[in-house]
Amino acid sequence: MRKRLGFIPLFSLVFVIFATTEMLWLHNLQRLDHLLSDFLVKTHAEKLKPDPDIVIISIDDVSLAEMEGKVGKWVWPRSVHAEILEAIYKQQPRAIIFDLTFNEKDKDRPESDQLFNDAIRGKQHIYFPITLRSLSKDAYVGHLSEIAKPLGLIKTAQADPEARGGFLPPFAIEMASWQVGTINFNHDRGVGRSYDLYTNLSGWLLPSLPAKVMQSLGYPVPLQAEMLLSWRGGKYPYTRISYSELYADIDRAKSLRAANEFKNKIVIIGADASSLHDIRPTPIDNEYSGLDILATAMDNLKNQRAMQMPAQWPFLTLTLFLIAAIYQCFRKRINALYPALALAIMTPISVLLAYLALSQLIVIHLITPLLLVWTYYFTLALREYWVVHRSYQATIKEFGRYVNPHVVKDWIAKEGSEHVGEKAESRDITVLFSDIRGFTSLSENRSPEEVVALLNRYFTLQVEVIFRFNGTVDKFIGDCIMAFWGAPLDNPQHAHDAVMAALEMSQVLEKFKTEINDASLDFDVGIGLHSGPAVVGSIGSAERKEFTAIGDTVNLASRIEGLTKGVSRILVSRETMLLCGDSLDFHAVGSYKVKGREQEVELFSPLAPICLPSLQNDKDAI
């Protein structure tokens, strides 16, 4: 028959499978990864300066207000852009990029479109956006092979010659002047972090606007679908010039602006007025300008500083290694605080390393592996707590047979529940033996069931007394009770408590006789006590142990109990009497020869104090 796997191996196996699936395929925890990495990226970006050669001309709220009196409400005639274009181009910029769509001709002002086209014609490095659409009626649909040249499509070996695409190209611009690219900013779980480089259309690669611009300017552009953006600065990191401010300067007889303001610059012209809604959520800000996103993409390509995301398998390997290490700690019963301390140290160090990795253009997702490792640890730690708690309850139940349960809880709280009481040690204790005299006459006229019931009732009454006086019940030997004081908890007055318990046990006997209500019965008890050193603890075999006391002190207490018949119901040794001091009075009964001892043992009988509490009051105190 196969041995069943224990909880820890079985849970560990299932958890490893789950962790592997989550990290390589599911990515359900990726939102948490992004929360941390976005925070680190934002913190890191605040210390970085953007490329000063990238300039934004913004159609902002001020521009809309100031230009309304000059050229009317938005959308302005395109001749306005022609004037701006001419003014900038005279300063010899490296490129001028319009982040404005010109997909429809202005039917009401065709002369304006003509002026704009005249301004563009013959000029190099003027770029426009194009929008991808589905194959619907509101888009220009054509065979990709026929429009490959004007759109700048790159034909791959897998290109389908019959493939078609839907676009919104800049129809207001003459096709000969088209230098276009897409402006698709990717939203990953609600936040944009990457920018398209090339879109694969049935094997035809359509470049994005940043890729088109940088490739035309001679910068290397990786032939890949997208790039992870490396952000720099705060919410508005790039040099910004208000469109209306620049337009007003054109009309002046003498310009107030620098004559070489745009020389060798990459100029982006676009709108980010609040009413035009060109804002996106990014790691830097929830309302980040689309113009700055476009500028960031170009900055990354120009300076070769796009971010990279490392493969997941090294982090999966590390995660599984940590799970295996935690597994070994719990399997070998190593203190659970040690792996917790190691994880507590490792977690902030990992976050710091992830932050430093940003300087090397590497984004590391930490939350998933850390959360998996911590979840695994806490699951095993909670189970360990449950096992220890169950052991604690079992210990209370087990030792509650010997000691008052309240005492057991105090003892466990002091010593700890694990292996409590297993260590045998020498203690100074007082041992009591109590035996029924005349038990045969008590049982000979009763059935075994009645005898057992009587014994149980008698033992219950006597154990209540022992517990009340902080004693420990060792065992029942037939009709005999063995108990001791001074263990497992220290008790400086163990002798006094033991004698007081013996005196009340004598009273309990009288109550028991009254309960039986049989005048013909003649029985009594003998109680012997002795104080001294004894070995106390869990003693026995590996299969069965008992919490008990052994040694000469125990043997002598038993012998003293055997001498009570015909002498006194309660007898104590001289050692016990001396330990009681002046708290109790004793009557000397003489010295007696005891088996196993050469010298006689001096014995005393305790006198019940006047202030001995009544049985009823003691029961109320329990």
Examine the domain organization and report whether 234 and 201 are in the same domain: yes
In whole angstroms, give the CA distance from residue 86 to residue 107.
23
pLDDT on residue 546: 79
pTM for this structure?
Answer: 0.73
Structurally, the chain folds into a number of domains equal to: 3
Examine the domain organization and report whether 58 and 14 are in the same domain: no
Is residue 35 in a domain?
no
Examine the domain organization and report whether 285 and 342 are in the same domain: no
pLDDT on residue 622: 27
The percentage of residues in the chain with a pLDDT greater than 90, rounded to a whole number, is 72
Is 281 in contact with 42 (CB distance < 8 Å)? no
Task: pLDDT band for 407, please (50, 70, 90 cuts).
Answer: low
User: Mapping DSSP to helix (H, G, I), strand (E, B) and coil, where does residue 140 land?
Assistant: strand
The rounded radius of gyration (Å) of the Cα atoms in the chain is 47
Task: pLDDT band for 318, please (50, 70, 90 cuts).
Answer: very high
Examine the domain organization and report whether 298 and 359 are in the same domain: no
Task: pLDDT band for 414, please (50, 70, 90 cuts).
Answer: low
pLDDT on residue 395: 64
Is residue 520 in a domain?
yes
In whole angstroms, give the CA distance from residue 593 to residue 295.
108
Q: What is the pLDDT of residues 542-557, one digit of tens each?
A: 667 778 899 999 999 9
Examine the domain organization and report whether 468 and 614 are in the same domain: yes
CA distances from 401 to 385, 391, 398, 487, 607 (A): 25, 16, 6, 14, 30
Is residue 403 in a domain?
no
Q: What is the pLDDT of residues 135-148, one digit of tens each?
A: 876 788 889 999 99
Q: What is the pLDDT of residues 219-254, one digit of tens each?
A: 999 999 999 999 999 999 999 999 999 999 988 888
Q: Which domain covers residue 449, as residue numbers?
A: 420-621
Last residue of a domain, one of 375, 391, 407: 391
CA distances from 536 to 353, 402, 433, 462, 483 (A): 55, 13, 16, 22, 12
Examine the domain organization and report whether 322 and 289 are in the same domain: no
Last residue of a domain, one of 265, 288, 303: 303
Is residue 398 in a domain?
no
Is residue 221 in a domain?
yes
Task: pLDDT band for 411, please (50, 70, 90 cuts).
Answer: low
pLDDT on residue 261: 95
Question: Between helices 243-250 and 61-71, what is the axis angle to 10°?
Answer: 40
In whole angstroms, give the CA distance from residue 363 to residue 308.
6
**pLDDT of 280 above 50:** yes
pLDDT on residue 396: 66
Is residue 320 in a domain?
yes
Examine the domain organization and report whether 163 and 96 are in the same domain: yes
Examine the domain organization and report whether 256 and 313 are in the same domain: no
pLDDT on residue 584: 93
Is residue 411 in a domain?
no
CATH number at residue 526: 3.30.70.1230
Examine the domain organization and report whether 500 and 583 are in the same domain: yes
Examine the domain organization and report whether 97 and 223 are in the same domain: yes
CA distances from 194 to 27, 186, 190, 363 (A): 18, 6, 12, 12
The verdict on whether omega for the bond into residue 488 sits within 30 degrees of 0, i.e. cis, is yes
Examine the domain organization and report whether 296 and 322 are in the same domain: no
Q: What is the pLDDT of residues 24-46, one digit of tens each?
A: 999 999 999 999 999 999 999 99
Is residue 214 in a domain?
yes
Examine the domain organization and report whether 233 and 331 are in the same domain: no
